[in-house]
Amino acid sequence: MASTEKEPAGALSGIRVGRVAAPLREQVLDGLRRAILDFDLKPGARLVERELMEQIGVSRTTIREVLRELAAEGLVVVIPQKGAVVHAPSPVEAQDLYAVRAALESLAVRRFIERASAADVDALRATVDEMEAVALGEGDIPALLRAKDRFYDVLLEGAASPTIQDILGGVQARVRLLRATSLSQPGRPVRVISEMRALVAAIAARDAGEATRLCVAHLDNASSTGLKALAADSAAS
């Protein structure tokens, strides 16, 4: 999210100091973020300061600062006098987030087309192959989701825009639950992969218009699939 690393990688790489001084707070932040994104902390779960303190082993000061950051990122929502809970987006909010994703990802795709090298395109194609391998294996949804994350990593890498990466990253994080739900629908993975292949093809052809169209269409499908599954779930319960 807030990652700003630049490495010239000149003649003196390797003696690069691993970490310029990592505030403990950031480790806690990364840890909690990962826990939320991996669904170790499920949406709606309460985050009680004292519990986090004991389980993580840091003071309340640090915990509270981290919670404020997560709140500003939109991953948790803090209710005054009540505390923080893992954010659970409502259906309409999820729909909006998907619309924002579509706008931003198509922007990223256009940037990629403008700036990326042929090697970047190959790398992008490789991540789709990787996804296919995971999808054909078993129905390991989390692994598939991680593979898809990798696709976006490469895409944003090639787009060469930390700003877009930062903002889009935040949006994607907020709909991660829906993304997982959508991917877990029967038949969805194979369709996703064919959509991605088409997108990569358009990107390789440097066809910005077609790529934008495919990108938006893909997210449209993902959105409606996820929302339908969500509606079915809540109806079943």
Nearest by Cα to 56 from 32, 76, 38: 32
> Rounded to the nearest 5°, which phi and psi values hold at 138?
-120, -175
Q: Which of 48, 107, 143, 216 binds DNA (CB under 7 A)?
A: 48
When the beta carbons of 22 and 190 are compared against DNA, the nearer one is 22
Q: Which of 9, 12, 21, 119 binds a second copy (CB under 8 A)?
A: 21
Size of the site for DNA (CB under 7 A): 23
When the beta carbons of 50 and 138 are compared against DNA, the nearer one is 50
State the minimum distance, in angstroms, from the CB of residue 177 to DNA: 22
When the beta carbons of 66 and 215 are compared against DNA, the nearer one is 66
**Rounded CA separation 52/38 (Å):** 17
Query: In angstroms, how far is the first alpha carbon of the chain from the final one?
Result: 34
State the minimum distance, in angstroms, from the CB of residue 23 to DNA: 4
Q: Is 88 left (phi over 0), alpha (psi -120 to 50) or beta?
A: beta
**Rounded CA separation 147/133 (Å):** 10
* Residue 117 site contact among a second copy, DNA, none (CB < 5 to 8 Å, cut-off depends on kind): none
Q: Which of 164, 198, 201, 208 binds a second copy (CB under 8 A)?
A: 164
Residue 109: what residue type?
Answer: V
Q: Is 76 helix (H, G, I), strand (E, B) or coil?
A: strand
**Rounded CA separation 174/97 (Å):** 8
Calculate Rg over the CA atoms of the chain. Answer: 19
Query: Of 78-86, 166-174, 180-188, 198-206, which part binds DNA (CB under 7 A)?
Result: 78-86
Is 93 near a second copy (CB under 8 A)? yes
Q: Which of 38, 40, 49, 140 binds DNA (CB under 7 A)?
A: 49
Is 137 near DNA (CB under 7 A)? no
Query: Of 30-38, 50-58, 172-180, 220-228, which part binds DNA (CB under 7 A)?
Result: 50-58
